[in-house]
Amino acid sequence: MINPEEFVGNSWSGVWSEPWVTEADAVIVSLGLEVADIEREGNGLLRIMIDSPSGVTVEDCERVSHQLTHLFTVENVNYERLEISSPGVDRVLRRKKDFERFLGQEVALKFKRAINNQKQFKGVLQQGKEQTWGVLVTPDGKNAEPCLFDFEITDLAGARLVPHLKF
């Protein structure tokens, strides 16, 4: 079973708490991939974003779609359209394992409560000194000193990777 304490904010609720999610996660992991996010949209759309350290191909999406279509028929999962995709360059960080995987990467964090009168920060994801996680923020300005804010993922309302595109 997926542990709700390992989720950012309240993102475990909703579709993540549906009984079929654990089985779908196991199917996706068996294909060498991981679930990045799950969403339900209007008009019966069920969107599942998959990822892997080496990226996601169209063939990966096809394999997952094929396997989940069979699982959802057996489990009687209610949906009209199934969309399988990669999470994109601004990938949402939902679970503890996402934070472990992307240590050292630049992230955009939104906290539930303000820290120094601010709720949103961009910085480098690191191990915290006093708590599990930290974000190293470098303020604007010539003489600005970087500062590390410690946090737990339950302190967050949201988290995403900051995209860095190379052309």
- Give the residue with greater pLDDT, 5 vs 77: 77
Task: Kindly report, residue by residue over 53-65, the tens digit of the pLDDT.
Answer: 999 999 999 999 9
CATH T-level fold of 4-85: GMP Synthetase; Chain A, domain 3 (3.30.300)
Task: Write the pLDDT tens digit of every residue in 106-159.
Answer: 999 999 999 889 999 999 999 988 888 999 998 776 777 888 989 998 899 999
For the chain, the domains span 4-85, 96-161
Using DSSP, state whether 18 is helix, strand or coil: coil
| Pairing, β 45-51 against β 34-40 | antiparallel
pTM: 0.84
Q: Supply the CATH classification number for the domain 96-161.
A: 2.30.30
What would the pLDDT profile of 21-39 be if each residue is shown by its tens digit?
Answer: 999 999 999 999 999 999 9
* 73-116 pLDDT tens trace: 999 999 999 999 999 999 999 888 899 999 999 999 999 999 88
Tell me how far apart the alpha carbons of residues 148 and 153 are, in angstroms, rounded to a whole number.
15
CA dist 60 and 84 (Å) reads: 9
Per-residue pLDDT at 13 exceeds 60: no
